[in-house]
Amino acid sequence: MIFSLSEIESLSRKAAKGAGHPWGVAEEAGKCARYLCAAGLPGAEALAGLLQAFDQRPYDECRPDCSATPWQAANGPLCPIITGAAICDRAADVADGQTITLGLTAHPLLLLPAIASASDILESGISIHWAGLTMTRMNRETWIETDDQAIRVAEQSEIIIARASSQSGARIRRSYRAEISEETREALNTLAHRTYAPDTPESRLSGAGAGLTDND
């Protein structure tokens, strides 16, 4: 099914909230899915996989310990949404030549929007690399060299973020709509429905839904 980027962002945001993330993280999740889908990458699919794997997982278990090398979570893999925000906070260090290494990370594709944002804010080339994938952001354009397996990997044990002075691969071109599989849409919808207020007789009488009117 084909969706607009706004529809993808809205559904992704609600799904992230339904999976137990704070609204701030949920907002970032929606933006991540939108950015990746606009780039022709399976962002909604990656987010659905992450939210299902991290359903109701406590924030403190999946945020990065940025004092460690590599960065790692207290329990299990890093959340790429939370870790992406931490990378942006320390992007000036990367622009100055420092390297950030991440340990075990879930659905690393969801890190790419944070790299692009950090590069644009600092006006500095930044790259992210893991086995089978290298993405470089320079001058507000993105190049990627990868294969389908690396894009869709559910976990990656080592990821390198570093300053970049050149790029390789194909330049990503922006799209304004994206195709999402029925399976992915259903997974996101299931989580998003948790954010909806339950139906009650009072809500029906006040105008929500059909009330007491038989529309059939």
**pTM summary value:** 0.90
Asked whether residue 216 carries a pLDDT value surpassing 60, the answer given is no
Asked if residue 204 has pLDDT above 90, the reply is no
- Residue 183 tokens read as 């399976």
pLDDT of residue 199: 61
Give residue for tokens 């009072």.
Answer: 202
Contact call for residues 172 and 199 (beta carbons, < 8 A): no
What is the CB-side half-sphere exposure of residue 193 using CA atoms within 13 A?
7
Residues 12-32 pLDDT 10s: 999 999 999 999 999 999 999
